[in-house]
Structure 1
Amino acid sequence: MTINIIKNLISLYKLVFINNKIYLFVSLWHIISNAVAPFITIVYFKYLLDALQFGYGLPYILKITIVMIVVNLVVTNVQIYTKSSTTLYSKWLLVPLTAMFCKKSIDMDYNCTEDQSIIQEMNRASFVLANGDNLEKYLAAVNGIFIAIIQLVFITYLATLLNPLMIIIVLAVALINAVISLKVQKKNYHIHRESLPIDRKWRYIINLATELRFAKEVRLFSLKNFVTRKGDENRAEFFSYFDKTNTNERKGLLTSTFVNILQEIGVFVILIYSVIFKGLTIGNFIVLMNGIRQFSVSFRDLFDHIVNLYTISNYVNDFFVFMNRKSELRATSKNIFIDSGSAPGKFEFINVSFHYPNDPRMILKNINLSIEPGECLVIVGENGAGKTTLVKLLMRLYDVTSGKILYNGINIQDYDYDSYMNALASVFQDFKIFAVSVHENITFKDQIEPDLYVDSLLERNNLLEKIQSLPYREKTVLSRKFESDGVELSGGQAQRLVFCRAMHKNSPVLILDEPSASLSPIAENEMYIMFSKIIKDKTTIFISHRLSSSTISDKICVLDDGEIVEYGTHSELLNKNGLYHSMYEIQSRYYKETV
């Protein structure tokens, strides 16, 4: 654990040095001013009482008083400035750390997003960022340790000249208090970790009541009482952990208070004895009494800061463990790049089998498939046949369990990961519209001037007229979450916007995963007519359980229970009178009845 704390400190202060060097300079003056501050009055009263006891006169008293006031004013001002500055800079450090965390979350392998142990690791890592006081306290603890060490060195030197026994007493008491505090903090950390899943459920319950995606179900099924009951149960469970923390801290505080009272009695007895029998001066009595109290405070502060460092280091460690997680998908890269704007290539699935992590069930079994450059392949099958999984492998969201997938004769695992991703554009069934402008939703860039290419995409997707009717045209924000004059597009309009996004990427490969799932037969037919125009000169993989997609296909691949059971053109598969023919006949009757 000590090694982890040191490693975390080094890692964090490297980031501080890179992002905010002035913090280190301000921290140095913060340490010096706070280390000196308690001794100004202690030293002053020693000289004041000696002056009164030995009759040094009024001029001497005025002189030392003026010096004390000036020094006190200077030190206090430095303390105030450095305190506010270190607080500000430590909060500002959250900005680059949050940026790092977000980038790492996006770069994280997709399979990690479905692994609950890694999701919990990510949640623990985000605790440092979500609770900004943790980082502030962590850096403050480091400064506090240096302050306490300087004070302890000075007081130890002073006390050993007068009465070393008191240092032994205070040191023993401080060690006892440190052990008590360490046990309390350690137990609190474990209690907190146990409560994290409950807190995640609480956020989910709040989302049920507030987020638009749940709004219809919550109202139609009158879920007010259901949500409230779940919330009450969750908070009751959460506060049981909160009560454990309070009880733990209360026991620790009572024990420490009792030990401190014993220390005060012991020190006072030794000092009175020294005054009566060993000729200790009143000035030195005051210096020792206040010095020992300060020693006790400094030692307690030292261990409190160490304990805080130890406790918060657990969260900081979680952060760096997550940040140091390696991408398995990127690790196989041989730095082969796909040129931007290159022509479509050929895909080959060779004996591909796959099962998901921690689930031995084979989802795909010995898949052999070729997709020619510029070809439109439609993959059909019932739910659970393995259609989406096959495409996840092609998109390298997962790597194959066995076999290989080639693109232009090269294993896709050998390509630079980001370069390969740039060769793919996709439209998913559960596509997302972001709470940014129309232009940013398509290009993910700020609109500085009119973009004719974006206008042409909107026109080709029958959206230009709609977008030009919006309050700020392409600059209109597509959400009311943050903008009162934002706009929510209809489902069909939003889907056409996502098609514009995929086309704007200008990738040689286009992947469409159930894009017509929520459309009526008529709207679906219009979509296919539009698709037939936009997929020219692209390799297109189309996943659907609706066979109307066959109208735009060159080849059709039929999956059943993770295996390719039929492959060919629409006409060839109908003539086989197999699974495809049966599915097509059933769906054709539905379309005739619906239309």
Structure 2
Amino acid sequence: MKSKRKLLKEIIDVIKISNKSDRLFFPLMIIKSLVTASLPFVAIIYSALILDGFIDALDKTSIMAYVYQMIIISGILLISRTMLTFFCEQKTNLIGLRLNSEISKKTLNLDFEQLESKEIKDKISSANQGVLFTGGIGTFINILGEAIENIISIIYSFTLIIALFISVDLNDPDKITRIFNSPLLGVGLIGLIIISLLLNFKIINNVNKLHHAVFEENIYVNRLFLYLLNSSMDYKLSKDIRLFHIDKLLSSKIKDYSVRTSKSYGYIFNKSGWMNARGGLLNHVVLYTAYTIIGIKALLGIISVGNVLLLVSAVTAFNTAVVQFASNISGAVMQTRYLALYKEYLETNTNMYKGTLPVEKRDDGEYEFEFKNVSFHYPNNDEIILNNVSWKMETGKKLAIVGPNGAGKTTFIKLLCRLYDPTKGEILLNGIDIRKYDYKEYIDLISVVFQDFKLFSSTIKENVMCEQDGEDEKVLEYLEQAGLKERIEKLENGIDSYLYSNFGEQGVEVSGGESQKIAIARALYKDTPLVILDEPTSALDPISEYEIYTKFDALVERKTAIYISHRMSSCRFCDNIIVFDKGEIIQSGNHDELLRSTDGLYYNMWSAQAKHYNT
């Protein structure tokens, strides 16, 4: 009972979601369903009247009156249905687009930590697959519309059947005639169809449960399959695929996942085929029983030829509507299960505490950041990445962070940017825990260029501004300062040129070094009191790196800046350097001070790199 109540609630929730997007939609859909369901019955009733008119030798005027009435009423209903169908389809598409965009909106509002978890990745995948493989809200709406049409058809046909069974003489002396005259026979016939409905509903429900079970079972496999499929079509990966013959590996894995899913779906198609065959056989038995009863009534002279047509049509319509209604209900239930995954994802709560304290707006740029006994390990992983780290960043100073790979440098930056919260300890801004600040106001203080930064297949201008409205002159200024002036001037559309060829042949392909310069221009454009370069120049040659760092040092002026670089020479202009190793700060000082510690890690790293330039 609880599961049924839950299911009913889920169906109502889906209807509410749709209605919230467009409040006119459901009234229009109900009117459309009423019109659509009425159309065949106009033809059925008037056909019976016209047929009886010919048999009873009615005058031509009376018969033609029936014909004209049928044409006029059918015409009005047809025109109305066409217009309503057009409006409903347009609104269904708009509702679908609005609801599908909610997945993107939700993903953008989740914590960064959540996006890296398998649970959330599976939720995103199941929400997308629920829409992709089942038609999403549009299919649910169509099923609901068909269900309303079938309910109206059931009411019409039920009324006709009962009316034809009770509008007879029950006092006929012949016993057989009295039996076939009895309204109870009509009720029994309808009861038989309803029993068939319930059995068919059970069969359809079992089939849909099988489909849903296989769908949930294959969520992870489908996610991998789609990833491999998209990878095989990603032109950015095409060089590696060809040079390293990865195509064979991709093809093999795609084939493997295809076989696995095919076996699962093959099993349910076979099983559901037998189930549906049993349901179809039962349905035909009931239908032919009804036709037999109608035939006997006609032979006994109980009903006219026109009423035979009317009754056969009504029984057929009733049976068809009942079976389709069972399918609609079962389909709506299955669709609701898929959309429940969509709804579940949209209701996913963020874990990170979002403070409300506004960040003080300071013209002097006096924002002091401090790590205080900070330790950290990633979720679902006990390995300590940072261990009891404490460091205060002086306002307006340049800090370099160095250390071997895996020492915790980038994790330090991620915590500073509040992509993660510390496992222990706290990070302070002007003496206050950063968790207490309004999250958006806090991250507006920081510009970062990560080593694994991404550019979008949009215009160069939009990649730098990260918004629709901005200052073109400012974009050009920072692109020039990043060393891209000549490259931009050569482009036909300048900063309005699209990056990459995802959306057209006019897209511009940029080198790794050029893309890093665009990312640096983006960080400068944001104009924040703290600027961080997390190994952004790894794809640049030493000369280009030196030029950018020299310019960058001048550009950031009194701002606080943090640099992470494997090239030790890039650290020389920094006011302070901290050396990470195994998640701890093991050395600090300026370049000259650290070189005097000849047994220190910094000296060893500097000496190792210096050998390459001195030989």
Q: What is the TM-score when the length of structure 1 is the normalising length?
A: 0.92
Match of 1:218 among 236, 241, 244: 241
> Which structure 1 segments of 5+ residues have no match?
none
Is residue 194 of structure 2 the alignment partner of residue 171 of structure 1? yes
CA distance in 1, matches of 2:4, 2:358: 42
Match of 2:263 among 226, 240, 243: 240
Give 1:298's aligned residue: 321
CA distance in 1, matches of 2:364, 2:152: 65
Give 2:210's aligned residue: 187
Contact kept? 2:399, 2:574, Cα under 8 Å: yes
Instruction: In structure 2, give the amino acid aligned to 1:175.
Output: L
Deviations 1:140-183 (A, max 9, x none): 11112222222223333443452211110000001111111111
Residue 236 of structure 1: CA displacement?
A: 2.6
Give 2:29's aligned residue: 27
CA distance in 2, matches of 1:486, 1:567: 46
1:82-481 equivalent positions in 2, closer than 5 A: 82-130=84-132, 133-161=135-163, 162=165, 163-275=186-298, 279-329=302-352, 331-339=353-361, 343-446=365-468, 451-481=472-502
CA distance in 1, matches of 2:400, 2:65: 94
Contact kept? 1:188, 1:248, Cα under 8 Å: no
Larger deviation, residues 572-581 vs 463-472: 572-581
CA distance in 1, matches of 2:22, 2:364: 42
CA distance in 2, matches of 1:222, 1:499: 34
User: Structure 1's 48 and 139: CA in aligned 2 closer, same or farther, altered over 3 A?
Assistant: same
Is residue 516 of structure 2 the alignment partner of residue 514 of structure 1? no
CA distance in 1, matches of 2:490, 2:348: 47
Instruction: In structure 1, give the amino acid aligned to 2:476.
Output: D
* Partner SS, residue 201 of structure 1: helix
Instruction: In structure 2, give the amino acid aligned to 1:197.
Output: Y
Contact kept? 1:34, 1:79, Cα under 8 Å: yes
CA distance in 2, matches of 1:479, 1:225: 26
CA distance in 2, matches of 1:168, 1:340: 79
Residue 6 of structure 1: CA displacement?
A: 4.7
Contact kept? 1:513, 1:544, Cα under 8 Å: yes
Residue 408 of structure 1: CA displacement?
A: 1.3
Give 1:569's aligned residue: 590
Larger deviation, residues 527-536 vs 339-348: 339-348
> Which structure 2 segments of 5+ residues have no match?
166-185
Q: When the two structures are aligned, how many residues end up with a matched partner?
A: 591
Residue 128 of structure 1: CA displacement?
A: 4.8
Instruction: In structure 1, give the amino acid aligned to 2:500.
Output: S
Match of 2:554 among 522, 533, 540: 533
Contact kept? 1:101, 1:323, Cα under 8 Å: yes
* Partner SS, residue 240 of structure 2: helix
Give 2:171's aligned residue: none
CA distance in 1, matches of 2:8, 2:496: 49
Residue 5 of structure 1: CA displacement?
A: 4.8
CA distance in 2, matches of 1:527, 1:15: 51
* Partner SS, residue 93 of structure 1: helix
Q: What is the TM-score when the length of structure 2 is the normalising length?
A: 0.89
Instruction: In structure 2, give the amino acid aligned to 1:85.
Output: F
CA distance in 1, matches of 2:361, 2:322: 63
CA distance in 2, matches of 1:304, 1:202: 31
Is residue 47 of structure 2 the alignment partner of residue 41 of structure 1? no
CA distance in 2, matches of 1:353, 1:176: 62
Contact kept? 1:128, 1:135, Cα under 8 Å: no
Contact kept? 1:351, 1:402, Cα under 8 Å: yes
Instruction: In structure 2, give the amino acid aligned to 1:365.
Output: N
Is residue 520 of structure 2 the alignment partner of residue 499 of structure 1? yes
Instruction: In structure 2, give the amino acid aligned to 1:307.
Output: S
CA distance in 2, matches of 1:49, 1:220: 77
* Partner SS, residue 236 of structure 2: helix
Cα RMSD for the two superposed structures: 2.5
Residue 500 of structure 1: CA displacement?
A: 0.8
Contact kept? 1:479, 1:487, Cα under 8 Å: yes
Instruction: In structure 2, give the amino acid aligned to 1:297.
Output: T
CA distance in 2, matches of 1:107, 1:319: 16
CA distance in 1, matches of 2:76, 2:363: 65
Deviations 1:517-571 (A, max 9, x none): 2333333323322222122222222223433332132222222222222223233
Deviations 1:483-522 (A, max 9, x none): 2222212222221111110010011111221223233333
CA distance in 2, matches of 1:363, 1:53: 93
CA distance in 1, matches of 2:216, 2:312: 42
Deviations 1:109-136 (A, max 9, x none): 1112211221111012123554583332
Give 1:488's aligned residue: 509
* Partner SS, residue 218 of structure 2: helix
Contact kept? 1:144, 1:305, Cα under 8 Å: yes
Residue 3 of structure 1: CA displacement?
A: 4.8
CA distance in 1, matches of 2:66, 2:359: 75
